[in-house]
Chains A and B, each alone.
Chain A
Amino acid sequence: MDTCIQKIREIAFQLLDKKEVERVIGFSNGTIPMATSPITIASKQDTEKLVFNSTCGLNLANYIRQQKGKIAVIAKGCDSRNIVTHIIENQVKRDQIYIIGVPCKGMINKSKIKALFEDEILKFTEDGETLTVESSLKKEKLNKKDYLRDNCRLCQHRNPVIYDVLAGEPVEEQVLDTPYPDVEKIAALDADARWLHFQELTKNCIRCYACRNACPLCYCPTCFVDESGPQWVGKGQDKTDVNTFHFLRAFHCAGRCTDCGACAEACPMDINVRDFTRKLNKDAFDMFGWEAGLDQTKRPPLDAYSPDDPNDFIK
């Protein structure tokens, strides 16, 4: 995937040079190895700052709202689906966004790699499918496939669904017989065990809201957790409030989540917030045959009525 970056820089340079767009949103190197952060570039000289590799796990669709003028954005498969969702939800206009699509072979699970090392990782390089990670104590060569994030492992839309230009050759899509093994595993437990699972999952949550802030779906001007009149949920660390936050945030993403993994990526406590949203994604697919962000012309299931909608839950 490293090879894409030259093409991305070239495209970005041309766009800024010809003043076709005012800014380009992409990734740049962070301050520590394995960290990349979103960057907005307005001058063609800065295109050298752009990077793209397997650590670009955040979702850039989160940064395209409320921008003035035409902007270009670099989009993986999931980012492009969130751009479609933004268009459907009238957050951006299609003609305001120039999409540089990047076929994606998955992003890496940084926590899993960090767990291999006792000390701080000092260097991370990537060559095709091989990752080389170094600390002061050791150097490991890893196969990228073994260290993919869970959502990337289960991804069925690696290629951008919408784009103006592609920065690489389309990659082969995965076809999965069981796309939701994680949800099924939890569903197989009894009610108390499921409750325990979610209690364990959220017990380290510090309510920093990084998951919400990283999520391209969470764009309410005032989030329900920040409302004070009425105060929907307590502000503290009480486990009921923590659970209420996660449950409601997930539900606000019902039928909209693309499982981009930005929430889990952003979590400083390594909580797999996706356990909540994945269930809703599975339900949206099972009940409405719906996967978010695939088609600009279709309304999402929760804002469209059809006489065929399942309604066994209403008595």
Chain B
Amino acid sequence: MGNLLEHMGIERDRIHFSWISSAEATKFVDVVKEISNKVRALGPNTKLVKDYN
């Protein structure tokens, strides 16, 4: 799925997959931080976003 989105031109760093157990709070925090940083670096997404105006 990530591959097809990437093929369509969605930046890879916007798509993340992870397996986190409910007991792995610190891993969850780390993953979310990493995702946030990567997505922030890319800036706002304009692809596959509906413009209602």
Contact residues in A for B47 (Cβ distance below 8 Å): 195
How far does the alpha carbon of A254 sit from the alpha carbon of B48 in the complex, in Å?
20
Measured in the bound complex, the distance between the Cα atoms of B17 and A268 in whole Å is 37
B interface, over-half SS: loop
Interface size class of B (residues with CB under 8 A): 20 to 34
Q: Which residues of A contact B50 (CB under 8 A)?
A: 234, 238, 240-241
Contact call A195/B3, Cβ cutoff below 8 A: no
Q: How far is the CA of A195 from the CA of B34 in the complex (A)?
A: 25
- The 8 A CB mask of A287-315 against B (1 = contact, 0 = none) is 00000000000000000000000000111
Inside 8 A of B9's CB, which chain A residues have their CB? 191-198
Q: Closest chain B residue to A199 by CB distance?
A: B9
Tell me the bound Cα distance from A197 to B18 in angstroms: 30
Residue ID in chain B nearest A246 by CB atoms: B8
Indicate if the CB atoms of B17 and A240 lie closer than 8 Å.
Answer: no
Interface string of B2-40 (1 = CB under 8 A from A): 111111111100001111000000000001001000000
Given A194-B7, A313-B17, list of 10 further CB < 8 A pairs?
A191-B6, A191-B9, A192-B9, A195-B10, A195-B47, A196-B9, A240-B48, A243-B8, A283-B4, A314-B18
Seen from chain A, the residues whose Cβ lies within 8 Å of a Cβ on chain B are: 183, 186-187, 191-198, 234, 238, 240-241, 243-244, 247, 250-251, 254, 276, 279-280, 283, 313-315
Using a CB–CB cutoff of 8 Å, the interface residues on chain B facing chain A are: 1-11, 16-19, 31, 34, 47-51
